């Protein structure tokens, strides 16, 4: 039915760019499936979405929970039978420092959340994306994936792997209705950025709300690109 709201899954929806994206989607009338670790933060997001006159589906879940991801896919299929959009935003910074001293637990967790969980999510939700008339997926990356630098080893490895995986998926589905893209927000005024760059003036960076406004366009039915790597900075330059 054409009057149905678009159903969009957002991971990392409780803070930063993910939270801003969830609110933006709700504001435009989409039904958001909001995934995050913090139940309290999700409930606060839900209050804000209800204040906008909309509703959300809350999924408190750690993305290291492989069985939980499988269950999420099954529930989406049973409850809705389709998924129109997927904003893969969740990520962890991990340990910054010399690669030689990075502990295995920190390295493995960074890869698990930023890369492996997204593969699991693709497996879980792809069948329902293919049931949508205009399915769209976008994965949030980082500039260090394309330009690696010292002390960012696990994080940039996870994001480089994510980009390779997602670009391959876009190529595999090129002749289908699904459009799959990568979004690089660049430096953004978020808690993660503050942790990574503690000496940086946050007021020199764009807000999560401004970045999310561009991000959510990539899950719109109007988006026709696939396999593209879109940088927020380039969009701002193009817009003057």
Active site positions, annotated: 155
Residues 32 and 10 sit within 8 Å (Cβ to Cβ): yes
Secondary structure string (H, E, C) spanning the chain: CCCCCCEEEEECCCCHHHHHHHHHHHHCCCEEEEEECCHHHHHHHHHHHHHCCCCEEEEECCCCCHHHHHHHHHHHHHHCCCCCEEEECCCCCCCCCCHHHCCHHHHHHHHHHHHHHHHHHHHHHHHHHCCCCCCEEEEECCHHHHCCCCCCHHHHHHHHHHHHHHHHHHHHCCCCCCEEEEEECCCCECHHHHHHCCCCCHHHCCEHHHHHHHHHHHHCCCCCCCCCEEEHHHHHHHCC
Rounded distance between C-alpha atoms, residue 69 and residue 67, angstroms = 5
């Amino acid at each position: 039915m054409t009057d149905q709201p678009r159903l969009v899954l957002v991971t990392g929806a409780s803070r930063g760019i993910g939270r801003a994206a969830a609110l933006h989607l709700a504001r435009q009338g989409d039904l958001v499936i909001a995934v995050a670790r913090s139940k309290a933060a999700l409930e606060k997001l839900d209050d804000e979405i209800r204040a906008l006159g909309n509703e959300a589906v809350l999924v408190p879940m750690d993305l290291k929970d492989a069985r939980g991801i499988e269950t999420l896919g099954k529930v989406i299929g049973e409850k809705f039978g389709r998924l129109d959009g997927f904003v893969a935003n969740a990520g962890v910074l991990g340990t910054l420092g010399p690669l030689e001293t990075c502990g295995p637990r920190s390295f493995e967790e960074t890869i698990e959340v930023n890369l492996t969980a997204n593969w699991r999510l693709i497996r879980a939700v792809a069948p329902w994306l293919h049931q949508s008339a205009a399915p769209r997926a976008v994965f949030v990356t980082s500039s260090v994936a394309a330009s690696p630098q010292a002390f960012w080893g696990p994080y940039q490895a996870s994001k480089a792997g994510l980009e390779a995986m997602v670009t391959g998926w876009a190529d595999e589905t090129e002749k289908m209705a699904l459009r799959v893209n990568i979004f690089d927000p660049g430096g953004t005024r978020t808690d993660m950025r503050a942790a990574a760059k503690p000496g940086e003036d946050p007021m020199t960076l764009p807000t999560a709300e401004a970045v999310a406004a561009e991000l959510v366009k990539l899950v719109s039915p109007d988006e026709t690109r696939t396999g593209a790597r879109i940088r927020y900075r380039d969009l701002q330059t193009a817009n003057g």
